[in-house]
Amino acid sequence: MSRQVEVHGRQFVILSEPGGGPVWKATVLEMKRGGGQESIGVEATADTRAAADDAAERELRRFLKGQR
pLDDT in tens, 6-27: 998 999 999 999 988 889 999 9
Please, what is the average pLDDT of the chain? 92
Tell me which amino acid residue 46 is: A
Residue 26: the pLDDT is 96
pTM recorded for the entire structure:
0.88
Confidence (pLDDT) at 68? 65
Looking at residue 31, its pLDDT comes to 95
CATH of 2-67, one of 3.40.50, 3.30.160, 3.90.70, 1.10.1060: 3.30.160
Instruction: Give me the pLDDT at residue 8, please.
Output: 87
pLDDT bucket at 48, cuts 50 / 70 / 90: very high
Hey, where are the domains in the chain? 2-67
Residue type, 54: D
